């Protein structure tokens, strides 16, 4: 489902956006992606890291770093593909405005430094910029898994301190050639990845990291309702925004009071944690996920990285299509469902081994793909 929502959100200007997570609170599919990515890593790699004394340290680490390398290569491929799509739109259809969208200006006006930035991850184009942070977090994942298995709350404490210090001192990896830093700041976004990782470690042992409890559930539901009220009740939002501004004026750190996505502000963090917790506590979610009608989504989930990659390129093509057919109302209505069918088709073709009854190779990387549909914003 995250893959579908991300595809929809990455074609701005379509009606279907109103149905995605971004309209139901402060967080969106990106936050959920990092939580689920951490869970997938915990489920997939805990065993290998835990047995490093038996199989060797490198044997436990190598599959995780191999996955990080695959994600890096995928990111570079998607970046080049996105540049090509917009260049074709400009050259073949006269859509020159595409050359300045999505952080592409440097690519076409300052090509040499921009290419250096692309391969060093310093220059990331819009809508294809989540995999770099995920790759960096996977590089650190073996050490987080080792600590998380022995002292889960110690790992959580370290993660929270790093998140807080990141916002307090504006820590980030540098962008190049543009000034500033990464949009998805790995020093901040590691917190929800670590929470997902600890959840995955616990699930692998047949437990929950955060237990079901009516008080916790009530708080989570209450926060979701409060956030919806903040967004949609006339007059209430400006009051809360004013309160946050006053708190920041008296010295409260900006990542506590603002909604700067780069630093994973606490308002977005609490919202995604509340949503994930509520969903995890509802038995109907498991039943719906197992329903026959959910098979297309399960197929896409099993081919997560492939579907994410196809969706990223298709969404960029969709942005160009909407520019070309600007003012033709039916185009966004048609493009999204056609694109979703295309993504399912890509996954269906790639899933042929399972349908044919052939055994799949049980590698750690494949396990992760089946658990977590890789996605972006």
Give 81-126 pLDDT, tens digit per residue: 999 999 999 999 999 999 999 999 999 999 999 999 999 999 999 9
50 lies in some domain: yes
pLDDT value, residue 133:
98
pLDDT value, residue 327:
86
Instruction: Give the total number of structural domains in the chain.
Output: 1
Dihedral of alpha carbons 280, 256, 138, 25, sign: positive
Query: Which residues on adjacent β-strands are paired with residue 181?
Result: 174
pLDDT value, residue 58:
86
Does the N-terminal peptide bond of residue 70 adopt cis geometry, omega within 30 degrees of 0?
no
pLDDT value, residue 146:
95
101 lies in some domain: yes
The kind and range of the H/E element at 354 are helix 352-355
16 lies in some domain: yes
Average pLDDT on 292-309 reads 91
256 lies in some domain: yes
For 243, the domain range is: 2-371
CB of 130 closer than 8 Å to CB of 75? no
206 lies in some domain: yes
293 lies in some domain: yes
Dihedral of alpha carbons 222, 223, 224, 229, sign: positive
Instruction: Compute the distance between CA of residue 16 and CA of residue 18 in angstroms, rounded to an integer.
Output: 5
pLDDT tens, residue by residue, 184-224: 999 999 999 999 999 999 999 999 999 999 999 999 999 99
376 lies in some domain: no
Share of the chain above pLDDT 90, in %: 82
Question: Does residue 353 surpass a pLDDT of 90?
Answer: no
Considering only residues 133 and 361, tell me which one the structure prediction assigns the higher pLDDT.
Answer: 133
- Give DSSP secondary structure letters for 183-198: SS-HHHHHHHHHHHHH
242 lies in some domain: yes
**pTM (2 d.p.):** 0.91
Average pLDDT on 147-158 reads 97
Question: Does residue 50 surpass a pLDDT of 50?
Answer: yes
pLDDT value, residue 357:
62
pLDDT value, residue 288:
82
Average pLDDT on 48-77 reads 91
Question: Does residue 366 surpass a pLDDT of 50?
Answer: no
Question: Does residue 232 surpass a pLDDT of 70?
Answer: yes
pLDDT value, residue 112:
97
pLDDT value, residue 364:
41
pLDDT value, residue 359:
53
């Amino acid at each position: 489902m995250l893959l579908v929502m991300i595809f929809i959100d990455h074609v701005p200007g379509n009606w279907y956006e109103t149905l995605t997570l971004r309209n139901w609170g402060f967080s969106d599919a990106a936050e959920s992606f990092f939580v689920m990515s951490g869970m997938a890593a915990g489920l997939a790699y805990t065993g290998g890291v835990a047995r490093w004394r038996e199989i060797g340290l490198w044997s436990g680490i190598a599959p995780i770093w191999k996955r990080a390398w695959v994600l890096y290569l995928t990111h570079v491929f998607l970046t080049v593909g996105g540049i090509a799509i917009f260049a074709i739109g400009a050259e073949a259809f006269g859509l020159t405005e595409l050359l300045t969208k999505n952080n592409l200006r440097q690519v076409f006006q300052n090509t040499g430094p921009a290419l250096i930035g692309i391969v060093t991850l310093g220059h990331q184009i819009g809508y294809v910029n989540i995999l770099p942070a995920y790759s960096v977090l996977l590089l650190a994942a073996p050490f987080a898994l080792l600590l998380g298995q022995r002292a889960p709350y110690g790992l959580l404490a370290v993660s929270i301190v790093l998140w807080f210090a990141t916002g307090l001192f504006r820590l980030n990896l540098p962008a190049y050639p543009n000034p500033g830093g990464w949009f998805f700041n790995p020093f901040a976004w590691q917190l929800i990845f670590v929470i997902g990782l600890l959840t995955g470690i616990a699930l692998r042992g047949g437990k929950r990291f955060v237990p079901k409890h009516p008080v916790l559930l009530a708080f989570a539901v209450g926060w979701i309702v409060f956030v919806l009220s903040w967004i949609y009740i006339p007059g209430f939002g400006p009051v809360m925004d004013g309160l946050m501004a006053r708190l920041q004026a008296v010295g409260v750190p900006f990542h506590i009071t603002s909604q700067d996505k780069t630093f994973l502000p606490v308002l977005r963090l609490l919202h995604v944690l509340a949503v994930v917790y509520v969903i995890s506590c509802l038995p109907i979610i498991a039943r719906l996920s197992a329903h026959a009608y959910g098979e297309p989504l399960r197929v896409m989930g099993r081919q997560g990285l492939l579907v994410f990659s196809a969706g990223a390129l298709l969404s960029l093509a969709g942005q160009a299509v909407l520019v070309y057919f600007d003012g033709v109302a039916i185009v966004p209505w048609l493009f999204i469902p056609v694109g979703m069918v295309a993504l399912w088709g890509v996954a269906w073709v790639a899933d042929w081994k399972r349908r044919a009854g052939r055994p799949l190779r049980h590698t750690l990387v494949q396990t992760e793909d089946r658990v977590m549909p890789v996605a972006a914003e």
